[in-house]
C-alpha cells in the first residue's frame, strides 16, 4: 500500500536521497492521515454517542488527536522544505522533530482526557455494571463498523511503516506506532462489546481506561524517541556501516579514525573523518582521491563529508619501534586503551612522539590519572623525547562506538 501511494503521488519516489522526494513523502503521508483519520473520527463519534460507549468515544478522541497530528505533520514538512539561510545555514529539517514532539504532547493530552472520563464513568456505575448491554441488532451494527475502523488503521500502519523505511523520517515512526496502538485499542473495544453481550457485564469504561493508558504510553514513547534525536543521538549503525564501506573501497586509505556525524534532519547528515594515507604518495593524487570519496558519500548516502588527511610513514622502522614500545606501556596500564595518528618528528634537534589515545569509559572520568601514569612511564624510558599527546573521549568516535 505504501509503495502504491508513493508510485501514484510522488515523482521519482525511489530516489529517497533527494530531499525534495522525502518532503513529498511527508506531505502525501500527512494528507493520507488527515483523510483516513477524519473518516474514523466521524464514524466512531456517531457510533459512540448512539450506543453511549465510553471506550468508543475515547477511541474517537484518540483519532481526533491523530487528525490534528497529521495537520501538525504537514505544517512541519512544509516548513522543513525551506532552504538554509543566514540564521539557519543547515536548513530547517529539524522542524520535523519539533512536529513529532507536538504530536507526542497532543497524544498524551487526549489520552489523559479520555482516562479521566473513563474513571468518572467507572465511579458513576459502581455496583451496577449491567447497563447499556448490546442486543443482537447492536452487535450486528457495532462489530462490522469497528472492524472497518481496524482495517483503516491497519492500512495506516502499513503506509506509515513503509514511508519510514523508505525515508527514515522520524515523524512516520511515531505515526506508525500510534496507528498500531489504535488498532489494538479498537480491537479491545470489540472485545468489551462481546463480553457485555455474552455476560451482561459492561466493562466499557474499564476498557476505555486501558485504551487511554495505552495512548498515553504511546505519546510518552514518541516524545522520548524524538528527544533522543534532538539531544544528539548517534546515527543508525546501518548508515555508519555504509559510510565506512565506501571509504574502504579505496586502496590508498590505510586506516581511519575520529568519525563524527551530526544530523540536521532525516536526510541532512554532516560527517567528518580522519583517513590515514601513505606520506610518500603524491599530495595532488591523494587530494583527488579524498575529493572523490567526499562526493560519493554525498551522492550515494546524502552525507556531506569533510575528510582530514593524516600522512603515515609506511614501513618506517623507527616509527614502528617507538609505536610498539608505547603500545606496550599503554597495555601495562590498561589493555583496552588504544592509540592512533602516531608520528615521530624532529623539533629543534629533539625527537617528538605525537599520538592520540582513545580513552576507556573508566579513564574518561579519570583523565588526569591516565595522563600522569602514561607520561610518567614514557619519560622514564625516553627522558629526552618530547611528547604531544591528545586524549580522545570514548564516545566521540563513531568507528569505536557503533
Domains assigned to the chain: 2-231 (1.20.1510.10), 237-312 (3.30.70.1350), 317-392 (3.30.70.1350)
How far is residue 318's CA from residue 305's CA, in Å, rounded to a whole number?
A: 34
Tell me the three cell numbers of residue 314. Answer: 609506511
Helix (H, G, I), strand (E, B) or coil at 388: strand
DSSP 9-72: HSTTTT-TTSHHHHHHHHHHHHHHHHHHHHHHHHHHHHHHHHTT-HHHHHHHHHHHHHHHHHHH
138: how many CB neighbours lie within 10 A of its CB?
Answer: 17
pLDDT along the chain (402 residues), means of 10: 82 79 86 91 84 74 79 80 79 80 83 86 78 73 84 91 84 80 81 85 83 83 83 81 93 89 80 91 93 92 90 85 86 84 82 85 79 81 81 70 54
pLDDT in the model for residue 266: 66
The strands making up 338-347's β-sheet, listed across from edge to edge, are: 338-347, 350-358, 386-392
Amino acid at each position: 500500500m505504501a509503495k502504491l501511494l508513493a508510485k501514484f503521488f510522488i515523482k521519482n519516489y525511489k530516489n529517497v536521497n533527494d530531499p525534495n522526494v522525502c518532503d513529498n513523502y511527508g506531505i502525501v503521508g500527512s494528507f493520507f492521515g488527515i483523510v483516513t483519520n477524519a473518516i474514523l473520527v466521524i464514524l466512531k463519534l456517531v457510533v459512540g454517542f448512539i450506543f453511549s460507549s465510553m471506550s468508543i468515544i475515547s477511541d474517537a478522541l484518540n483519532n481526533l488527536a491523530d487528525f490534528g497530528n497529521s495537520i501538525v505533520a504537514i505544517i512541519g514538512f512544509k516548513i522543513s522544505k525551506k532552504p538554509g539561510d543566514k540564521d539557519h545555514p543547515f536548513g530547517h529539517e529539524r522542524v520535523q522533530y519539533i512536529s513529532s514532539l507536538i504530536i507526542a504532547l497532543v497524544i498524551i493530552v487526549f489520552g489523559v482526557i479520555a482516562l479521566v472520563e473513563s474513571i468518572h464513568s467507572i465511579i458513576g456505575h459502581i455496583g451496577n455494571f449491567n447497563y447499556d448491554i448490546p442486543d443482537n441488532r447492536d452487535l450486528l451494527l457495532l462489530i462490522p463498523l469497528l472492524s472497518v475502523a481496524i482495517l483503516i488503521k491497519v492500512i495506516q500502519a502499513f503506509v506509515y511503516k513503509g514511508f519510514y523505511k523508505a525515508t527514515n523520517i522520524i515523524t512516520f515512526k511515531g505515526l506508525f506506532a500510534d496507528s498500531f496502538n489504535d488498532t489494538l485499542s479498537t480491537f479491545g473495544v470489540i472485545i468489551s462489546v462481546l463480553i457485555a453481550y455474552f455476560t451482561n457485564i459492561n466493562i466499557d469504561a474499564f476498557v476505555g481506561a486501558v485504551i487511554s493508558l495505552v495512548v498515553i504510553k504511546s505519546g510518552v514513547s514518541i516524545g522520548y524517541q524524538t528527544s533522543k534525536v534532538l539531544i544528539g543521538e548517534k546515527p543508525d549503525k546501518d548508515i555508519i556501516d555504509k559510510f565506512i564501506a565506501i571509504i574502504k573501497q579505496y586502496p590508498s586509505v590505510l586506516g581511519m579514525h575520529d568519525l563524527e556525524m551530526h544530523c540536521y534532519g532525516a536526510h541532512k547528515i554532516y560527517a567528518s573523518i580522519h583517513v590515514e594515507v601513505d606520506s610518500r604518495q603524491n599530495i595532488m593524487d591523494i587530494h583527488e582521491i579524498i575529493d572523490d570519496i567526499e562526493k560519493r558519500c554525498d551522492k550515494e548516502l546524502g552525507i556531506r563529508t569533510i575528510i582530514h588527511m593524516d600522512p603515515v610513514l609506511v614501513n618506517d622502522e623507527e616509527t614502528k619501534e617507538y609505536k610498539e614500545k608505547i603500545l606496550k606501556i599503554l597495555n601495562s596500564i590498561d589493555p583496552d586503551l588504544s592509540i592512533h595518528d602516531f608520528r615521530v618528528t624532529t623539533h629543534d634537534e629533539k625527537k617528538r612522539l605525537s599520538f592520540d589515545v582513545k580513552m576507556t569509559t573508566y579513564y574518561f572520568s579519570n583523565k588526569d590519572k591516565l595522563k600522569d601514569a602514561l607520561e610518567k612511564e614514557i619519560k622514564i624510558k625516553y627522558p629526552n623525547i618530547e611528547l604531544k599527546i591528545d586524549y580522545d573521549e570514548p564516545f566521540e568516535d563513531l568507528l569505536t562506538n557503533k
